[in-house]
A and B are shown apart, each in its own frame.
Chain A
């Protein structure tokens, strides 16, 4: 597709909490909670599959050699970016 979808709806943006920044903070918490729910489902699916395959899940979790520091940092940056995206919207 030649265009990207718009991200902000046109219309009133009511301030509901003490400041517009508190409203944004609440949305960040909501985003975080949603992504936590996604992660929990992924974890549950993978752990279930591992146990069915006879894998010791706790031992795997203790072993950090499978991923580099840079990969971990990139994942954290991606999540931080999703949270902070809200600050790019007008107050």
Chain B
């Protein structure tokens, strides 16, 4: 029985961890699906969202949870601007151009953050009291962040599945030429997809600031996990990204618990390699699905 509860705890911790990856990876995957651009700067949107939440809370005395209501629209607009001014230029260009561009944006944002915010860790102490769940005790913020992630994931899924903008995004990723023949302005679709991805990454940043801490390099570290998740789930597949994220989260949690923290750090990539050996296209296809 104890053994069983322990497994439950390891899985739950994995799911909690995976939710953060899911928020990041779903946006990354959507952007890739719609414009075939791998966005190396996606993690920096998480970092900026986290810092914005931290300063809204520490300087503006905004309730940590409410910061998400400010961070997401701000990151949405920031995403629109970055897409229109920079990323749009490399759509349809050789993959090296887009890699260099987004990698460059990533480095610039990270260094600006270091310059203005220093390399200090900034965490928001909030809902730290423990709560019992299925025989183990978790900080309340862990459960809270899982809940918020779940709500956002559900909203994204419904957006893609049921709204006309969501359908336009999926159509564009499956066949941009036919989407144009439907009267869709695919440039606007690319801008909106990128902005939605940035907003989700910003939300992940808020959750990171509440559940642990943010610092300038957090984006470049966590993005590697998100890449593993995206490739695992199938480039462009949102459903795949969500599943892949939870799978990686659980694998990481199990690796840390049963083996060692170091193993936990690399387990995402081990799982990735194993899955790709069996299914080279990832768990799902290579289009924006929901």
Q: Do A and B come from one complex?
A: no
Interface residues of A (CB under 8 A from B): none
B interface list, Cβ under 8 A from A: none
